[in-house]
Structure 1
């Protein structure tokens, strides 16, 4: 790959995830503080991510893969996203905010696949080259969080309404990426059988036959269920850290992305040494431990518990989701390789997190009135801790390593 192309793809990936990290991390805090949204209204807004994930395959599979260059679609979607971000910046209540964020998520989620498509098409050896491009995406997310805390938009003593500035920052970055995308290497539709996938292949339904395998079915159900605790983190972590008075909460949450990079490097070693089952069990257990740390930690002498809980993000996310992608690839074989990954993505980021956001919203709203103020957050975090522990236990009992898993481990 040419150095200029590598630089272009790195900038693209940086901006792609800078945009997401610029507003999504603090969204829960913004909705509750600036728009006075209740728990269920916040859940409704967060669920737009899941609807976007469900609709994204249709946009990419039925439109992008067939008719238009990927970089041009990427440009148009981000330019439209910049306008929607500006509208969210000006929204004065949840009723006005919701339609904009819904449309935005429907447009943004397909771009996650588009940036990968543009990248892979320029690579001769994606297995070795892609990680060095993708790392700039995580760096972009981290930088966005650092800027928010550096400008003091996220602290409880910050100027009233300051968090709305995150949407303006995201709008500027989105406009920049939209314009920059027109300069990216041309990535036309693939004119072969892979570019003419059937409707069932596009949304992964032809991989449903894999669910006849008891182990894969167990993993599939566990993947959906573990997304409920994951949704609690996305929806409540920043409001929680802000409410308890942790200094620069958004910057500290970037520790989670840093740990994600570290533990990502350990997955091949652990997968080969301990196998899929044990690796994924560590990931599930980490979710329970993380929420227990949140439940009993504080911003004072026990602030280290909150920091450790944030730092566990690498284990929570990588050990389950990345290991799961490796396992799915091994079980699916060549026939269902891409469809199986699509099915798992649809089940987790789509259905699983959709359920999770609503459960998190209901639990949060319930404990606002059903528990004393000083134990509110403790009660909220004990729920996902319990769910993660139950899923971990059931998976350990029901799932059995087989030859194919062991061979690929």
Structure 2
């Protein structure tokens, strides 16, 4: 299968074939991935370990954890040109215009130096009316960056947060070597599609990536779109990952899916936190409640798709529950926030490294008035930036639970 070459904006002519050095994509060149699966094309990064994946056959989870949000190739080189062959799996909705191509961000010495996309790859066609899916296979594609500074430098290629990405080959016009550990703290974050990156401009500008950059920490992003559901296997993954800081954003997916009632929610949160504490008994642990989402503040789920503007490429959501069902224990965001605040306060009496952050401090009513959620659930690029900046200030800033002076 021949690669499909796709020049990035501003790219120059391709170096002669004899100038290229090919480097196998191995774990020491990747950050943000917990597991590498060998495929017929190369390697597929996973954000949940194989044991966790084996414990749940849900297709939504399988897609979300294999989309490499926060996963990046990191290496040191003096190369001026970089090519990466990949096989993407892009999702599309039946009856809707094609979704935008995923974006690769190139960072040189920590600064954005280029953006590009890739063509080819597989297409996962989803019929929102029936829930059925069809995979249409496609060829390998190539993302290329050229004109890089001719000096030794640290290079990061952030993979698209919304496309499953098999890594086939890495080529450069000078040798590469793994980047030594710079000694920065590791921050492990778990959350929903908002943490995963939905509707951010690019992989390095999701709100967790922005907050990590501002906080000068290494991000491990376990934001799992649609699948932040207090699953025990996710808690065990969080427990077993070496890290210095942990946050868990809990709530919106439990309402989206109408998965549990208040009676189950409290014990499930306790169990989730207990499991994390088995591996990280004194690590700073921040529990974050949902950001403002007006359709579900006082109306239970599930969230239902609104197809009225689908032909124009606009998929929106509505709350399909009934506020009267709160009396039977159905969850809303206000109920979840109150319960999380109560549980964290109770546990913090014996756990001084456990903290709580109300998600409305990241995005609240005034923010919604200025920057409404385009589909009623997910923030746009500008809102991702605002949330990232606020999280960095509240968590990593002076007096925050992740502040350097607490170390």
TM-score, length of structure 1 as denominator length: 0.29
TM-score, length of structure 2 as denominator length: 0.29
